[in-house]
A and B are shown apart, each in its own frame.
Chain A
Amino acid sequence: MLEISSLNVAYGRVQVLFDVSISVGQGELVTVIGANGAGKTTLLLTVSGVLRSIGGEITFDGDRIDRLRPHEIVGMGLGHVPQGKELFPAMTVLENLEMGAHLVKEQDEYQHRLARAFDFFPRLSERARQRAGTLSGGEQQMLAIARALMGNPRLLLLDEPSAGLAPIIVDQLAEIILDMNEQGLTVLLVEQNAFLALEIAKKAYVMESGLVVESGDTAVVRKSDLVRRAYLGI
């Protein structure tokens, strides 16, 4: 579904991704783990068209997307929950969700998506009239995911959804991500929290300083010396 091959990305003259190749199949839940500054966020922002690559190829369902603009890529069925959440703080929870579905014309379809978002995140329906900027960190993360779901994506990019959340919320979130995946949503999950990521994903890539240094089934990756030492501390 998503094929990233030999991707190179630079900020000005400083290159931060080097020949990164990642493949996400239809219905899979794939994770990319890596320490601070490894280039995970850069990778996702390049996939959604916010950043331009200087080399390599990205295809989404067989179509080249690496020269398209973000709204064109989103229109093809990509959802992106960014690291900073990037909500609309002065709008209500409901308005944020409405914006996530801005391409939807039919009222029925909109209501259907709204009901599904509230199904995944019942807390948000209680907070519907509250301004997004006043939500707690966990609620903001839920809203960011729900807003992306309102676009009814076929592929969802998640950038460190567990960052800064209490362990109990992280567990709930993991459940929800698994749930969405089981309902057919393809997920590319970026995480520093390797425990969480390796627990729920089927396939994993490990990035260091802009390079993919390890990849394969999570069961295998979890046992590699590198991952045990650097990420799991065992």
Chain B
Amino acid sequence: MNWDIIGQQLWNGLLSGSIYVIFAAGLSLVFGVMRVINMAHGELTMLGAMLLYTVTKLVGLGYFAGAALVVVVMAMAGFLVNRVTVRPFLGRSELVVILSTVALSFMLLNGSLVVWGSTPKGVDEPFNEIVKLGGVYITTAGLLLVGVCFTAVLALYLMLTRTKLGKKTRATGQNLLGARLIGINTTAVYDTTLIMASGLAALAGVLIVLVSTASPNLGQPLLITGFAVVIVAGMGNVAGAVAVGLFLGVTEALFGQFISTYYRQGYLYVVMIIVLLLRPQGLFGRK
């Protein structure tokens, strides 16, 4: 057994797992509160990465200023996502809402291919020293990624459980009619939910470029992985998505190293199918 290789894959898995966590948290939030499957969530992350490329390379902002700007702008765009693609179709069949977010996803993907082309773009990290820990190579940019992911998810958790806005958001997710009848403005709750989810998606995008490249095609595979995480955790369970996101990130990296790089993507599907067969409501889901 080569412990250095295992350690390296644990670190790599932690990097991708952190991205899965923050990505799936937003996806799960929207489903948990609004019962909406947002098929455009991957494209919001992709836009985060591409816009960061534009404001750093073409406008000349630094990484941190650019990332902050992109996340804020994308969060505000979440309001439009709700008002244009979700809200007009609520109350109709769930399929209609899904189709409308699929349409948004296609528009964003194809629009981005026109604007940026399909070649991956690099973004300069703010710092990138390589640290050797035992036999494992760790980058400072990677540490930044992991730290920001966990801070963001912790902030989301505290917001949902400790603040009045968060409690109103959870209440709306648990019983829409009950929330309306005690005077919660559920339209505003839906707006802020998509604002938060869109901001989280964009945050994932600006973090991905710390360890990888920005490309209009990065959203689609991430969406599939995000669904695997959300389904295995149980739809709408944000805390469960954290545990499962990390677990899948790490085991996927180990699988790729020791079993097959080729079937690495397939690994996620297999886990998803096994969980669905044994526990259709997901690991942490309630019936």
Q: Measured between alpha carbons, how far is A95 from B160 in the docked complex, in Å?
A: 13
Q: A95-B167, A99-B168, A102-B168 are in contact. Are A71 and B184 (CB under 8 A)?
A: yes
Let me know if A88 and B171 touch, CB within 8 A. Answer: yes
Residue numbers in A under 8 Å from B171 (CB-CB): 88, 91, 99
Q: Measured between alpha carbons, how far is A151 from B180 in the docked complex, in Å?
A: 13
Chain A contact residues, majority secondary structure: loop
Q: Measured between alpha carbons, how far is A84 from B175 in the docked complex, in Å?
A: 11
Query: Any chain A CB within 8 A of the CB of B170?
Result: yes
- Could you tell me the distance in whole angstroms from the C-beta of B169 to the nearest C-beta in chain A? 11
Residues of A153-198 whose CB lies within 8 A of B = none
Q: Measured between alpha carbons, how far is A73 from B168 in the docked complex, in Å?
A: 18
Residue numbers in B under 8 Å from A147 (CB-CB): 182
Which segment of A3-11, A31-39, A55-63, A74-82 sits at the interface? Answer: A74-82
Let me know if A102 and B183 touch, CB within 8 A. Answer: yes
Cβ-neighbour of B175 out of A71, A75, A89, A95 (below 8 A): A89
Binary A-proximity of B172-185 (CB < 8 A = 1, otherwise 0): 00110111111111
Let me know if A82 and B177 touch, CB within 8 A. Answer: yes
> Which of chain B's residues has its CB closest to A132's CB?
B174
Let me know if A74 and B177 touch, CB within 8 A. Answer: no
> Which of chain A's residues has its CB closest to B185's CB?
A71
- Chain A residues touching B, range: 20 to 34
- How many A-B Cβ pairs are below 8 Å? 67
Let me know if B170 and A103 touch, CB within 8 A. Answer: no
Query: Any chain A CB within 8 A of the CB of B164?
Result: yes
Q: Measured between alpha carbons, how far is A88 from B164 in the docked complex, in Å?
A: 15
Query: Any chain B CB within 8 A of the CB of A50?
Result: yes
- Could you tell me the distance in whole angstroms from the C-beta of B176 to the nearest C-beta in chain A? 9
Let me know if A86 and B181 touch, CB within 8 A. Answer: yes
Give 5 CB contacts A-B under 8 Å: A70-B180, A80-B181, A88-B175, A90-B170, A102-B184
Apart from the given pairs A91-B174, A148-B181, 7 other A-B contacts in the complex at a CB distance below 8 Å: A50-B180, A71-B186, A74-B183, A84-B177, A86-B178, A99-B171, A102-B164
Q: Which residues of B contact A (CB under 8 A)?
A: 164, 167-168, 170-171, 174-175, 177-187, 286
Q: Which residues of A contact B (CB under 8 A)?
A: 48, 50, 69-71, 73-75, 80, 82, 84-91, 95, 98-100, 102-103, 147-148, 151
